[in-house]
Chain A
Amino acid sequence: MSAPLLTATGVHKNYGNTPALRGVDFSISAGEIVAVTGPSGCGKSTLLHCLAGILPTDAGEVRYRDQDIGLWSEAARSRLRRADFGVLFQFGQLVPELTAAENVALPLLLAGSGRREAREAALGWLDKFGVADLADKRPAAMSGGQQQRCAVARALVTEPQVVFADEPTGALDQLNGEQVLGAMVQVVREQGTAVVLVTHEAAIAAYADREIVLRDGAIDPSGLGVAP
C-alpha cells in the first residue's frame, strides 16, 4: 500500500466538558474507501470534521500529504478544503437561495472556473446522480433524497482527492441509498478519490475497503462498538 494521504494521530476533541474524541488514530491512502462506524454519539461526525480541518483538534495532529494542517491558517485550510476535499455533511447541505445547478457549480466557481463551464459540469454531475431534471429548482422544492443526490454531486464536482461523507444515504430509502452510493463508489473508483464514509449501517459500511469502529470517542478494536 502507498504512503497514506491523510493521517490522524492521537486526536482529542472536547465540547466544553464533554470529551467527544479520546485519542483516535486514523489513516487513509489515495483511492481508499474507509468506513467509520459505531453507535450514535460515539464521535463519528466529530472525527470527520477534525479530519477535514473543519474543527480544530484539542490534542493530536492531522496530516495531509505529510503536512500538519493544524499549523495552517484558517484561510489555508479553507483553500485546501476547496481544492482537495469534498464534504458531505450529515445535516443542512445545500445553499437554500441557489438552484440545484448553482449549488453544484459553486465549488467550481470558488475554485476559479468560468460560469458557463461550471454550469455545464454541474449539469453533467446532476445527470450522473439522476436529478438533471431538477437543475433549476431550489432545495426547498426538492425531496430530502433529491437534495442528498445534489449534495453528493456537489461534493464530487471538483474531483477532490478526499471526500468526507457523513451518512450520505441517511435521508434515502434502501434502493435509493444504494443507487446513490453505487454511483458515488463507481465515480470515486474511476477517479482514485479516497472516501471517509461515516455510517451506522453495516450494509453501507460494506461498500468500503475497510472499517474502523468508534466507541465513546475511541477506536474499538473488537469492532463491535458496544461496551462489554
Chain B
Amino acid sequence: MSTAHVLLGLLARGPRHGYDLKREHDERLPQAKPLAYGQVYSTLGRLERDGFVEQSGQDQESGPERTSYTLTELGRDRLDAWLDEVEPPAPHVTSALFNKVVVALLAADADRARLYLTAQRSAHMTRMRELTVSKTTPGTTVGDVIAADYAIGHLDADLRWLQTTLARVADLQKEVSS
C-alpha cells in the first residue's frame, strides 16, 4: 500500500491542492499516520514526473501549496490497476509474538514462554475490549467501525494463535532444544 495510490484516489474526485490532499487523507484514513506536507509534495512531484498527475492551476499567490493537481488518463489507469490488484495473502509470521516464544524457549524454558503468552493474551483482550467499546458507542461512524473491525479481527487471530501455541509449548521446547 502506498500513499501515492491513495493520493491518486483522492484526485480521482477532482483537482486538489496539496493541502486538501493532506486533510482528506487524514480524515478518510484516520487509522493511518497523518501525512506530513513534505511527503505530500515529494509524492506529488514523483507522480508528476511519471505522468500520473499534472499541475492544473496556480492561485494568485505563488508557491507549491497554491498549486492544484489533476489526475491524468495514465494516472487513472494506474489507480484502476492498483484497485484490481489482489494483495498477497501471505501470512506475516514475522511477528514479534512468534519471535518471543522461540527466544523465550532458547534463552530460558517453557515456563518463561507461558508467562509471556499469558501476559500477551491479557494485553490483547484489554485492547480488544477497548476497540469493542469504541465501535459500539452510539454515534460511531461506519468508517471507525470498520477500522475497529479490522483491528479486532487481527487481534482475534493472534488470540487463537496464543491459545494453540500455549498448548504446544512443551512440544516446541523439545524441538528447539534438540
- Residues in chain A within 8 A of chain B (CB atoms): 182, 185-186, 202-203, 205-209, 211, 222-228
Contacts and interface: CB of A to CB of B under 8 A. Distances in A.
Contacts of B129: 206, 208-209
Given A185-B136, A186-B136, A203 B152 contact: yes
B42 interface: no
Main SS of chain A's interface residues? loop
Nearest to A207: B132
Contact of A226 (B124, B152, B167): B167
B138 A206 contact: no
Contacts of A207: 132, 136
Nearest to B162: A224
Contacts of A202: 124-125, 128, 155-156, 159-160
Interface of B: 110, 114, 117-118, 121-122, 124-125, 128-129, 131-132, 136, 138, 152, 155-156, 159-160, 162-163, 166-167, 169-170
B157 to A, nearest CB: 10
Contacts of B162: 224
Which among A186, A202, A205 has the greatest number of chain B C-beta atoms within 10 A? A202
A222 B114 CA distance: 9
Contacts of A203: 128, 132, 152, 156
Nearest to B165: A226
A209 B128 CA distance: 11
A225 B121 CA distance: 11
A228 B159 contact: no
12 contacts: A182-B136, A202-B156, A202-B159, A202-B160, A203-B128, A203-B132, A203-B152, A206-B152, A209-B129, A222-B118, A224-B163, A228-B110
Contact of B163 (A205, A208, A225): A225
A16 to B, nearest CB: 28
Can you list the 8 inter-chain pairs with the closest CB atoms, starting with the nearest? Answer: A206-B128, A206-B132, A202-B159, A226-B167, A226-B166, A222-B118, A206-B129, A203-B156
